[in-house]
Amino acid sequence: MLQVNRSVRAGRLRRVLLTATGTLAAVGLASVAPVAAAPAAVPLAKDPGRAGDHLTVTVRDAGGGADGTHELTCHPAGGDHPRAADACAALDSGTRWGKDAFAPVPQGTFCTMQYGGSATAHVTGTWAGRPVDARYDRSDGCEIARWNRLVPLLPDVRAQGRRL
């Protein structure tokens, strides 16, 4: 009985596979080579219309001479930001279709209870054709990680000898 059930199941499986193969062939998909998967997120940095990327970055209480207001333009990199080219490259690598590179930490997110210092930042302007008005601090683990994702647009306060 066990042998009969196996052969019946094997026969059904063959019919299903043959039917599926025939269906694919009927719609012209059986001989198509697999297509390489598209990247999960496509950077927008190569868009010709990105010349309008302009940000104003105001940093307070970061120490080490990092405080102040700087202008940043990208595509091409310019302005008085101390690391303009690096900041533009970091923003480009973090810019993805459908994602806000400056999004706040989502409500209800569990974050580690740690304090990263009194540094704050305010970023305004236009990036990837969208208005930007984002505030940053280092009040918990999520906010620290959010800040660190934008280094070197924002100063790397860890590099100033402070262990937080």
pLDDT digits (tens, 9 = 90+) for 63-76: 888 999 999 999 99
Cβ–Cβ under 8 Å, residues 70 and 80: yes
CATH number of domain containing 74: 3.30.350
Q: Is residue 141 part of a domain?
A: yes
Residues 42, 46: Cα–Cα separation, whole Å: 10
If one counts the domains in the chain, the total is 2
Q: Which domain holds residue 10?
A: 1-35
Q: Is residue 155 part of a domain?
A: yes
Q: Is residue 94 part of a domain?
A: yes
Contacts of 45 (CB under 8 A, 6+ apart): 75, 92, 93, 95
Do residue 31 and residue 53 come from a single domain?
no
Do residue 14 and residue 56 come from a single domain?
no
Do residue 27 and residue 64 come from a single domain?
no
pLDDT at 159: 59
pLDDT at 51: 63
The tokens for 25 are 């062939």
Confidence of residue 79 (pLDDT cuts 50, 70, 90): very high
pLDDT at 148: 96
pLDDT digits (tens, 9 = 90+) for 84-132: 999 999 999 988 887 888 999 999 999 999 999 999 999 999 999 899 9
Q: Is residue 41 part of a domain?
A: no
pLDDT at 53: 93
Do residue 57 and residue 123 come from a single domain?
yes
